[in-house]
Structure 1
Amino acid sequence: MVRLLGRKALRRRSVSVSVEAWSGLTGRTDPDIVDLLAALRRRMPVILVSNATTRLEAYLAAIGLDEAFDAVINTARIGVAKPDRRVFDIAAQRVGADLKRCLFVDDTAGHVTAAQAAGAIGVHYQDIEQLRATVTPLLD
């Protein structure tokens, strides 16, 4: 019996260490994208729409991006996730925009297709140069 409890405790510790390691993952920030978003924000609202966990806001603060967007739509908090049309409607409403005047950029083609079906202009993100070419007319 003592041996079984020892294994359980070891298993719990292993899970705890794994969760802690996963929680520490931060990814990377592309400074060119951050600069481009800042330039866009001087002309129009920029919203982050993410199918993230409830840790998103804390993560953005930890990496210094909590002020990089006019609004953050975290689908973990609104109860629907991309590609559900309601996500795009909520994002547009959050900044008082008509969805038909919104540009939605995502690296998942299915999310872009859903945004387009909802009425937004959609761009399937490939790289910074493609994004820069897409938004440059908005900056002029």
Structure 2
Amino acid sequence: MKLQQKGFDRAAINRVLEKLEERNWQSDARFADVFYRQRVMQGYGPLRVRQEMQLKGVHDDDIERCFTTYATDWAALAYERYRRRFGNAPLAPSDHKERARRMRFLAQRGFTSEHIYRAFEKAQENPED
């Protein structure tokens, strides 16, 4: 803990944290909810959101609760990010280099291969969107 590194007593830190939780001034569940929704609104996929929540120290139960509570259409979000980044620029079937670049973009944002595939399918179906 950062406070411990600054020389504060662990027992005192725990007492203060318990008081904050009792008064509902600090809530791990609320932090998880806000963080999840924020990252989804920023256009990140489920793999990246889950990883970042784990790195922030969010408990696995809170992570699972967020993923089940909020019905996120990840494929639609991947398509939205695809359109925002690449617009209506058509993708030639033979342009493998560009296809790979676009796929990497979505993968780096944390979308699964299934979400990426569905986003590409929708982009091919609706080139004028």
Q: What is the TM-score with the length of structure 1 in the denominator? A: 0.26
Greater helix share, structure number: 2
